Amino acid sequence: MILTSHQPNFLPYMGFFYKIYRSEIFVLSDDVYFSKKGMHNWNIIKVKNGSQKITIPVNAHHDTRLCDVMISEPKSTLPKIVRTLEETYAKTKYFNEGQEITNIINDISINDKVPLVFLNIAIIKYILKRMGIDRTIVIATKDLHITGNKDDRIINMCKEMKADIYYSGVGAKEYHENKKYQENNIRLIYSDYKPGVYHQKYGFFIYNMSIIDYIFNNGYKLPEDWL
């Protein structure tokens, strides 16, 4: 059984969804701490002259768990995100498909209090469904009882879900201790994801944009090199 995990980030990039595509179980790690460097409440989109960061304002500190992070004034801040996305991608071929995501954000914005992970998980699940990626999705705070940090946490996660393979992002190589996985009969595999060019709008392409850039330009069909 192949398991992968990641924090429920805001409109993650394609490599995030590729890890899920290559796995059987996906754990949304909403029990870890919020980080300004982590892309929990922000991402990058492509604009006419380059790239632009879009950020959801939140009420959080470095010791706040992701599951406890609240969106700041969702009734006013989320519609601004929607306007930015729809104005930026107004002329794209698959605008209606991208608008399905902005509609989710708009629907959630009517609430006075919105946890960040509630929005992020709703978007992630919707994209997976529309892309036809049917996997077991586990939310750490609701479905698991994980202890430990870094490798110990992942190993305990695999044991609890009875997974014998952990599918990791390449960026985690610097902290993984292979010996720990071997001792616990868990095989550690690193993602072979390679970002592909899917449009040449404005005459140039920027890699690793938010998945919303892909959806507005290509819809929900999976990249051919994934299949």
Alpha carbon 116 to its chain's center: 12
Average pLDDT over residues 104-109: 97
Place of tokens 């009517």: 110
pLDDT at 202 over 70: no
133-167 pLDDT tens trace: 999 999 999 999 998 889 999 999 999 999 999 99
Cβ(80)–Cβ(56) under 8 Å?
no
Q: What is the pLDDT of residue 80?
A: 97
Alpha carbon 190 to its chain's center: 17
Are β-strands 42-47 and 50-55 bridged in parallel, bridged antiparallel, or unpaired? antiparallel
Average pLDDT over residues 10-15: 97
Q: What is the pLDDT of residue 222?
A: 96
Q: How far apart are the first and last CA of the chain?
A: 20
Cβ(60)–Cβ(37) under 8 Å?
no
Which amino acid does the sequence have at 75? K
Q: Which residues of 112-138 are buried (b: 16+ CB within 10 A; e: fewer)?
A: eebbbbbbbbbbbeebbeebebeeeeb
- Please state, as a whole number, how many other Cβ atoms lie within 10 Å of the Cβ of residue 63: 8
Alpha-helical (H) ranges within the chain are 14-21, 74-88, 95-108, 116-131, 140-143, 150-160, 178-183, 211-218
In order, the DSSP letters of 57-122 are -EE--TT-BGGG-EESSHHHHHHHHHHHHHHHTTTSTTHHHHHHHHHHHHHHTTSS--BHHHHHHH
How big is the chain, counted in residues?
227
Which amino acid does the sequence have at 135? R
45-70 pLDDT tens trace: 999 888 999 999 999 988 899 999 99
